[in-house]
């Protein structure tokens, strides 16, 4: 498998897992607005090496999730801001432009230092 994107979790907001019950999480880079800091998994901003498409794999350390749909702004937002929402519901149609949809599986274990990657 080829890594087309990789980053690492640098900080976890005090309410970042609040959205676990809704099967979603929010990633945001170093320039996260103060109003969102508590709700995000803060990551290092890196550029992706390719388009992000359904069928690829989103990996949190050793936990893999098949990507099922990709919002039209996911690549741009990830590359420039490190900011996307990940929804674990298996949707095959992207309802929101900044959301990456993945298969409906158990919510990932995420801690400071967790490596996040997208694999082709």
- The CATH number that applies at residue 79 is 2.40.33.40
Which among 69, 61, 112, 117 is positioned nearest to 93, based on CA atoms? 69
The pTM assigned to this predicted structure is 0.96
Domain limits for position 78: 3-119
Torsion of CA 65, 22, 108, 111, to 10 degrees: 140
Please give the chain's pLDDT, 120 residues, in tens: 999 999 999 999 999 999 999 999 999 999 999 999 999 999 999 999 999 999 999 999 999 999 999 999 999 999 999 999 999 999 999 999 999 999 999 999 999 999 999 999
Structure tokens at 87: 């929804």
Sign of CA dihedral 49, 93, 73, 79: negative
Give the chain's domain count.
1
Residue 52: its pLDDT value, please?
98
């Amino acid at each position: 498998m080829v890594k087309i994107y990789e980053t690492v979790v640098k900080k976890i907001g005090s309410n970042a897992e609040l959205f676990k019950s809704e099967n979603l999480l929010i990633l945001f880079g170093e320039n996260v607005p103060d109003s969102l800091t508590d709700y995000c998994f803060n990551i290092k901003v890196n550029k992706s090496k390719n388009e992000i498409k359904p069928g690829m794999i989103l990996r949190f350390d050793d936990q893999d999730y098949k990507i099922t749909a990709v919002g039209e702004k996911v690549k741009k937002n990830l590359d420039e801001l490190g900011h996307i929402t990940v929804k674990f519901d298996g949707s095959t149609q992207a309802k929101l432009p900044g959301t990456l949809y993945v298969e409906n599986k158990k919510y990932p274990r995420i801690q400071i230092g967790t490596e996040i990657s997208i694999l082709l």
